Chain A
Amino acid sequence: MTAIQSAANDGSATNSPVPPALRTYTKVRPWTTLGFLLPFGVLFTLFFLLPIGYAIYESLFATRVSGLGLGPNATSTKFVGLSNYMQVFRDASFLHGLERVLLFGIVQVPVMLILATVLALLMDSAVVRFKRFFRLAFFLPYGIPGVVAAILWSFLYLPGLSPIVASLRSVGFGSFNFLGVHTVLWSIANIVTWEYTGYNMLIIYAGLQAIPSSIYEAARMDGASDFQISRRVKLPMIRSSLILTAVLSIIGTLQLFSEPQVLRAITTTIPSSYTPNLLAYTQAFSINNPNYAAAIAVVLAIGTFILSFGFLRLARRHSNGGLL
């Protein structure tokens, strides 16, 4: 554990007790280093950096259709500067989609993370039996691909097919509509929560396992109860795990796509601009406006970057020393 921590604080750190200045290691030739880095470097450049660069480039152009749009010269591509971006920020469907994912994130992310934390604390506590079974059960949904999970839940939301709707009716809820205009967002939130709670629980649990138990014993000697130990000792010590789960969840929320896309097959309450990512997809494939889609994708990538790193900075500022 400590080895990983020291490596984390300083990438060049090793287990060696010899101070760096005293080491006289053979210099690795630059060409050798390059040879090791090259395969990943080339692929990363081609399939990560280049597409983003190309999307930015494409977003600066627009295709105009002249006349009836027939004939080989009916469309022309023209440099339009930042006007696609201006349009994105004025686009009501984009703004509504953004508002929707933000609302989704503000509710779903805390609910999921609190649940994951409670489960992780229980997995780590002395009062619980059959921990291994519970851990497997909670982690299982993560093994199911997102699309399959969404298809599965879409059956469980579908009136006529769903045992949930049927049992709600039998206890007097009438025919509860999971796919209504106001409920469908929370039905999607449920799918995401179902899928990722166990995964987040495992991240937090891994953090808990890394705490030396001597700390608990010291707290217990001082008369702390289990609950107090959880709140005052464990929670502060798993800060970095919590921050990691929060950042991953924020990124996932902003990119929300497959769950609403799958549910679109069974309901009309999800328009093609339901989330920003869905809007970009629609613009690229149904409306055939790749330039505008590129602008949305770029805005989304930058927005994700700002939000996740902003959150990281905020979390760092409020930490009292420690790892962060």
Chain B
Amino acid sequence: MRTTTIKVPDRHLSKGSPWNKKTVTAMAFLFVMTIYFLLPAYWLLISSTKGPSALYNSEGLLFSHFQLFSNLSGLFHYDGGIYVRWILNTVLYAGIGALLATVISASCGYALAKFPFRGRELIFSIILGGGLVIENALALPLYLLMSKVHLTNTYWSVLLPSIVSPFGVFLARVYASSAVPDELLEAARMDGAREFRIFRTISFRIMSPALVTIFLFQFVAIWNNFFLPLVMLSNQKLYPVTLGLYSWNNEYGQAPQLVSYVVIGSLLSVIPLVIAFLSLQRFWRSGLTAGSVTL
């Protein structure tokens, strides 16, 4: 948008020296904030190369007794390699959960945008209002219900609730109603295509930027969810990595080497997420824009 407008000479920036007083002040502030936001991550990086005793007895922000590789091997072998299993579980919960959530919310949001029917707005409000609030208060009631039907402590107890994404429906609807032209659907109908086929072959493709955003949001939401697996799972083999690290964090009083595994395990578990996350930043922004503009 900004590139199409005519540039007006900026009186406030003295020509020739871009680093005026204002810039220096702003940059100093941003630099301090950068330290605040990155320091814990830096500490994690440094600490993952230390053993338990060096962790306590060395300068926190400097390297000392480099033993990254023995930490790694310890992490992967501890308790029969359970850490690897936790990672795989997390990928399963977040990957499959987010994938199914995306498909299901896309179909629902698309229908809410493109098929007029009575009660449509009401359904939408329930999904949105209910979803926003209930989603956060849901874990305990879900546990009560699941334990009634003996589904707790299974993969299903974490996976099934994770495929419901009210925000996904919301985003799919907003996007479909602005991006999928009715004329196109009408033309496809004239050609005799069934609704499901139109959705699958035409609309789904047009909606793909929004679908990436939905997938991303849900993936991170599941990956970050702590309360749900905490209440649902008691078998360590079913844990996602967050819950696993939490359980180790509560045990390192008894097993001192665990403190190193918590540190390096935390680091490894966030690396893929952080990379995926920062490289897909534009999809976040588009989702967040839709969210705030529509509110």
State the A residues within 8 Å of B (CB): 1, 3-8, 11-16, 23, 25-26, 28, 30, 32-33, 35-37, 39-41, 43-44, 46-52, 54-55, 58, 119, 122, 125-129, 134-149, 151-156, 160-163, 166, 194, 197-198, 202-203, 205-207, 209-210, 212-214, 217, 220-221, 225-226, 240-241, 243-245, 247, 251-252, 254-255, 257-258, 262, 265, 277, 280-281, 284-285, 290, 293-294, 297-298, 300-301, 304-305, 308-309, 312, 323-324
Contacts and interface: CB of A to CB of B under 8 A. Distances in A.
Contact of B242 (A23, A137, A147, A297): A147
B84 interface: no
Contact of A40 (B33, B105, B196): B105
State which size class the interface on B falls in: 35 or more
Given A36-B115, A128-B23, A143-B277, A212 B1 contact: yes
Contacts of A153: 40
B30 A160 contact: no
Interface in B131-168: 131-138, 140-145, 148, 160-161, 163-164, 166
12 contacts: A40-B108, A54-B145, A55-B141, A55-B144, A139-B281, A140-B41, A148-B266, A151-B266, A207-B293, A213-B5, A265-B250, A284-B143
B242 A155 contact: no
Given A33-B111, A147-B245, A304 B137 contact: yes
A205 B281 CA distance: 13
Given A48-B164, A258-B227, A155 B47 contact: yes
Interface in B61-99: 61
Given A7-B174, A220-B8, A54 B23 contact: no
B214 to A, nearest CB: 12
- Interface of A, secondary structure class, is helix
A300 B134 CA distance: 10
Contact of A217 (B8, B23, B104, B114): B8
B249 A226 contact: no
B270 A144 contact: yes
Nearest to A35: B196
A166 B60 contact: yes
A176 to B, nearest CB: 15
Nearest to A197: B37
A262 B111 contact: no
A39 B104 contact: yes
A280 B234 CA distance: 18
A52 B141 contact: yes
Interface of B: 1-2, 5-6, 8, 10-13, 18, 20, 22-23, 26-27, 29-30, 33-34, 36-38, 40-41, 43-44, 47, 55-56, 59-61, 104-105, 107-108, 110-117, 120-121, 123-124, 127, 129-138, 140-145, 148, 160-161, 163-164, 166, 169, 173-175, 177-179, 181-183, 186, 189, 195-196, 199, 220, 223-224, 226-227, 231, 242-243, 245-246, 249-250, 262-263, 266, 269-270, 273-274, 277-278, 281, 284-285, 288-295
Contact of B134 (A16, A41, A46, A48): A48
Given A194-B36, A257-B227, A324-B295, 8 more contacts: A1-B289, A35-B196, A36-B111, A48-B131, A136-B281, A145-B269, A161-B55, A163-B61
Those 4 A-B pairs whose CB atoms lie nearest each other, nearest first: A163-B60, A36-B111, A55-B141, A40-B108
B223 A145 contact: yes
B226 A244 contact: no
Contacts of A15: 178, 181
Contacts of A40: 104-105, 107-108, 127, 164, 169
Contacts of B105: 40
Given A28-B195, A148-B270, A6 B289 contact: no
Given A39-B108, A143-B277, A11 B22 contact: no
A84 to B, nearest CB: 13
Nearest to B111: A36
Contact of B270 (A41, A126, A143, A207): A143
B246 A44 contact: no
A297 to B, nearest CB: 5
Contacts of B285: 202, 205-206, 209
Given A16-B182, A26-B186, A155-B263, A145 B226 contact: yes
